[in-house]
Amino acid sequence: MSHLDHTPSTPGKFKIDKSPYYSRTRWHSSVAKLTLWSFLFVAIIFLFFYRSPSSSSNNPPSSDPSRRYLASATWGGAAWEKRVRTSARIRSRNGFSVLVTGAAGFVGTHVSSALKRRGDGVLGIDNFNDYYDPTLKRARQALLERSGVLIVEGDINDVALLKKLFDMVPFTHVMHLAAQAGVRYAMQNPGSYVHSNIAGFVSLLEVCKDANPQPAIVWASSSSVYGLNTKVPFSEKDRTDQPASLYAATKKAGEEIAHTYNHIYGLSLTGLRFFTVYGPWGRPDMAYFFFTKDILKGKSIPIFEAANHGTVARDFTYIDDIVKGCLGSLDTAQKSTGSGGKKKGPAQLRVFNLGNTSPVPVTDLVSILERLLKVKAKRNVMKLPRNGDVPYTHANISYAQKEFGYKPTTDLQTGLKKFVRWYLSYYGDKKAAVR
């Protein structure tokens, strides 16, 4: 494949013909609850940073396996700095210079590509971990490099690296997509979620607050924060204090941390609650992806059902629609108001749902894949396990529609057809064809 599917076609910057409408999100948590969260976050962050190696290159590598690769990462030098500046150079009038974390990830690759195509300066950073096959991440990296986007190999907990990048490039915006993803994996490796989603987020915010100028930050939260909430569709105003998984809890923690850095340091922060993103170059741990793989191999696939034989459904959202939401959030993000770690005035704080607003039963997803692959799936129906999964998701997107005209346009049938075409091309499976 020479481009992102079937690369998403994303329009230029959103232009809205109305007076300034930016308003800070009102958080409905009580002061006591916020205080409790704050103490919890401080304790967790202190624990991880206290155990972290110093950013000084004179210290020996940490014995912690999750951090060991940081000391071996190579960056620096005149040639490397030239590549960084070239990648981040703005090539359009009124363009942005954007640092994209998690740029070799699914959403990160598509967003980076869309930003570059419209003339923004884009620099990526990614640690290329092995949560899923790094080969796919390297293929995405090669795709972006062909379009002029450099991905720096490093971790967002490496404060020295982040400071170096900000010293070289006056980023106007940060698109923070780096995270430890996956609901079920949290039961196997909980530490990785705190390391990436909490400590990593704080590391990034610490560097951003000290930058001059401070960038506006758009970051990936998750629809998982709605947890055990039974009111649908999910609205940004709904309660989010009942997480059903550690992953959800770390994303909720991120939202509270964002509130804190906005309040104290004047950082402009916009959180995006993604709803089950799918499409070409996707994540192999997602159901639509491994269903496709196992159906083609003749393996059985697990079909979960809720209590009392209830339906499990998801608000599947195609990647192109998510990219439009990400760019719309960037384009309407106000400037941060601090400088050198000091707040000079109130700053923008927002949270948006980015979904498709059309929940589809997982059984229907499988039926569509069967038609596209021309292979009958071997369905293994079982009860929804208590591993953090929830039976139903449904996004209310009225706030995003109002603020920057967000409007998803791709239905599941159309989106899966594009995904299957990409899958068969990428993996070279000639035994099935897309109608």
- Catalytic (active-site) positions: 247
How many other C-beta atoms are found inside a 10 Å radius of the C-beta of residue 266? 22
CB 267 within 8 A of CB 336: yes
User: Which is it for strands 313-314 and 360-361: parallel, antiparallel or unpaired?
Assistant: antiparallel
CB 88 within 8 A of CB 121: yes
- DSSP class of residue 111 equals H
Task: Locate 420 and state its tokens.
Answer: 């299957």
Give percent helix, percent strand, percent coil of the chain, each to the nearest 5.
Answer: 40, 15, 45
Task: Locate 125 and state its tokens.
Answer: 């950073």
Q: Is the dihedral of CA 352, 356, 361, 367 positive or negative?
A: negative
SS3 180: coil
Strand partners, 6: 4
CA distance 138 to 130: 11
CB 250 within 8 A of CB 367: no
What residue ranges in 28-141 does DSSP mark as E strands? Answer: 97-101, 121-126
Cα angle 318-362-366, degrees, rounded to a multiple of 5: 85
Query: Which helix H or strand E contains 37, and what residues bound it?
Result: helix 31-51
How many other C-beta atoms are found inside a 10 Å radius of the C-beta of residue 253? 23
User: Which is it for strands 342-343 and 338-339: parallel, antiparallel or unpaired?
Assistant: antiparallel
Helices (H), 239-389: 246-265, 287-297, 319-331, 362-373
CA distance 177 to 100: 7
Packing angle of the helix pair 246-265, 200-210 (nearest 10 deg): 10
Strand partners, 383: 305
Please return the burial class of 385, using the count of CB atoms within 10 Å of its CB with bins 0-12, 13-18 and 19+.
exposed
CA distance 326 to 114: 10
